[in-house]
């Protein structure tokens, strides 16, 4: 990372999310994934469905997950502050949604009722069957092969991770990741994720992840490489490696 581009960032864990907090996080993630081709596949090419799909993940994480948010001065404010020396409260620029050992995205009826069921209720049958019969099983089987059959019980799963486009490459993602890593150290567990671009693989590799499995996801709306990555924390200092 170029030190000149680093921005001052504050990361906190949001313990209880109000409806307004959830709205703000959904808005942020819509901006993060606005032009993301893989996200377009997740909604069957109908971008009007994207807010509901994103909301379902945020609502589920608010119930059973771990929500880290990153704030930083807006870039124009940052420049102004350097001139007059004042500070400002900052804007939401990044978020990470993860699930600890024993918890998983949409694994309970309560989580699904909070958002996922609404998404399923409005999507066409073809997209529903893509999720149920193809993508869901592909991810589930792939993750077990990559991380071990009981990874859900033993790993911290990083489900959604994003920084606003104009704040990328400035250390926000790393600051969020260090907070997640602290969580994993406390739970003495590895961190696992799935990702879809070579750039992200480079970023995650710099953050200490290794690729455990690579595959391809297909749909009528495109096809994407898909990587399963894991970071095992060093024994002695922190995490315990899975048996897989």
Ligand X SMILES: CC(C)(COP(=O)(O)OP(=O)(O)OC[C@H]1O[C@@H](n2cnc3c(N)ncnc32)[C@H](O)[C@@H]1OP(=O)(O)O)[C@@H](O)C(=O)NCCC(=O)NCCS
Binding residues for ligand X, rule: CB under 6 A, are 1, 32, 161-163, 168-174, 193, 195, 199-200, 202-203, 206-207
Alpha-carbon distances of 31 from 8, 62, 110, 162, rounded to whole Å: 21, 20, 27, 9
Least separation in angstroms between CB 61 and ligand X: 14
* Residue (123 or 163) nearer to ligand X, CB: 163
Q: Which residue of the chain is nearest ligand X when measured via CB?
A: 173
Distance CA(13)–CA(31), nearest Å, equals: 21
Return the H-helix or E-strand segment holding 198.
helix 198-206
Contacts of 70 (CB under 8 A, 6+ apart): 9, 10, 11, 92, 93, 94, 95, 163, 172, 175, 176
Least separation in angstroms between CB 228 and ligand X: 11
* Residue (43 or 163) nearer to ligand X, CB: 163
Q: At what angle do helices 50-64 and 19-32 cross, to 10 degrees?
A: 130
Least separation in angstroms between CB 25 and ligand X: 13
Least separation in angstroms between CB 124 and ligand X: 25
Provide the residue count of the chain: 244
* Residue (203 or 233) nearer to ligand X, CB: 203
Least separation in angstroms between CB 36 and ligand X: 7
* Residue (28 or 52) nearer to ligand X, CB: 28
Distance CA(191)–CA(209), nearest Å, equals: 8
* Residue (113 or 140) nearer to ligand X, CB: 140
Q: What number of other Cβ atoms are within 10 A of residue 131's Cβ?
A: 18
Q: How does DSSP classify residue 233?
A: P
Sign of the C-alpha dihedral, residues 34, 92, 98, 203?
positive
* Residue (34 or 188) nearer to ligand X, CB: 34
Distance CA(49)–CA(44), nearest Å, equals: 9
* Residue (128 or 221) nearer to ligand X, CB: 221
Least separation in angstroms between CB 162 and ligand X: 4
| Both tokens assigned to 72 | 């930083």
Least separation in angstroms between CB 1 and ligand X: 3
């Amino acid at each position: 990372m170029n030190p000149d581009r680093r921005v001052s960032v504050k990361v906190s864990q949001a313990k209880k999310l109000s409806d307004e907090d959830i709205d703000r996080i959904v808005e942020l993630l819509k901006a993060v994934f606005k032009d993301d081709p893989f996200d377009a596949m997740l909604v069957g090419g109908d971008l009007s469905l994207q807010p509901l799909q994103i909301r379902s993940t945020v609502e589920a994480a608010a119930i059973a997950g771990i929500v880290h948010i990153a704030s930083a001065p807006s870039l124009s404010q940052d420049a102004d502050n350097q001139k007059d020396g004042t500070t400002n409260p900052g804007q939401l620029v990044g978020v990470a949604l993860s699930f600890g050992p024993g918890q998983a995205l949409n694994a309970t009826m309560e989580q699904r009722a909070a958002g996922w069921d609404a998404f399923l209720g409005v999507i066409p049958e073809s997209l529903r069957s893509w999720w149920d019969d193809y993508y869901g099983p592909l991810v589930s089987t792939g993750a077990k092969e990559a991380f071990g059959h009981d990874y859900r019980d033993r790993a911290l799963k990083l489900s959604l991770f994003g920084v606003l486009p104009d704040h990328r490459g400035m250390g926000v993602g790393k600051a969020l990741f260090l907070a997640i890593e602290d969580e994993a150290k406390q739970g003495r567990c590895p961190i696992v994720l799935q990702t879809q671009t070579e750039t992200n693989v480079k970023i995650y590799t710099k953050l200490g992840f290794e690729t455990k499995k690579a595959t391809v996801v297909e749909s009528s709306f495109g096809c994407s490489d898909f990587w399963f990555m894991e970071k095992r924390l060093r024994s002695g200092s922190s995490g315990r490696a899975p048996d897989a």
